[in-house]
């Protein structure tokens, strides 16, 4: 019973981190794939925070740096294009340290 209570405290601490450190607010999704994607992103963000806690101010620096990465949508008469902004050397270092693939440059091309 004590172990279950300890795990509950850890989960509550994780949610506090998501709400405070990452400044996440409620997000409402209806489609299952969006719900799964949202949960996965929250879990990855929490893991990144936990890993970064080993060094002071690293989480804040990483968050600040990653907020400079954007997904931009261009709308033209013939359709739209969605692509991410260019990765800097610092972005690439974070991706490499996490041992994940670099996010794709072009996310979507739609023709009207």
Instruction: Supply the range of the domain harboring residue 91.
Output: 68-112
Same domain (yes/no): 74, 55:
no
Residues 7 and 52 in one domain: yes
Residues 22 and 50 in one domain: yes
Q: Among 22, 24, 105, which Cα is nearest to 70's? A: 105
pTM above 0.85, yes or no: no
- Taking the CA atoms of residue 16, residue 100, residue 41 and residue 13 in that order, the dihedral angle to the nearest 10 degrees is -20
On whether both 13 and 43 belong to a single domain, the answer is yes
Per-residue pLDDT for the chain (112 aa), expressed as one digit of tens each?
Answer: 676 666 667 767 776 766 666 566 666 777 888 878 877 877 777 777 677 666 667 777 877 888 898 889 889 888 999 999 999 999 999 888 878 888 889 888 888 7
Element of type H or E holding 58: helix 58-66
Residues 36 and 83 in one domain: no
**CA separation for the pair 13, 32 (Å, rounded):** 26
Give the count of alpha carbons within 13 A of 72, CB side only.
Answer: 8
CA 34 to chain centre: 14
Same domain? For 55 and 72 the reply is: no
How many structural domains does the chain have?
2
Contact 81, 51 (CB under 8 A): no
């Amino acid at each position: 019973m004590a172990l279950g209570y300890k795990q509950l405290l850890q989960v509550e601490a994780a949610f506090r981190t998501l709400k405070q450190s990452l400044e996440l607010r409620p997000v409402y999704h209806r489609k299952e794939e969006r719900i799964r994607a949202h949960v996965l992103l929250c879990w990855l963000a929490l893991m990144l925070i936990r890993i970064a806690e080993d060094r002071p101010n690293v989480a804040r620096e990483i968050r600040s740096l990653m907020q400079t990465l954007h997904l931009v949508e261009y709308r033209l008469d013939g359709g739209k294009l969605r692509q991410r902004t260019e990765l800097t050397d610092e972005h690439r270092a974070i991706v490499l340290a996490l041992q994940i693939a670099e996010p794709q440059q072009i996310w979507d091309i739609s023709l009207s």
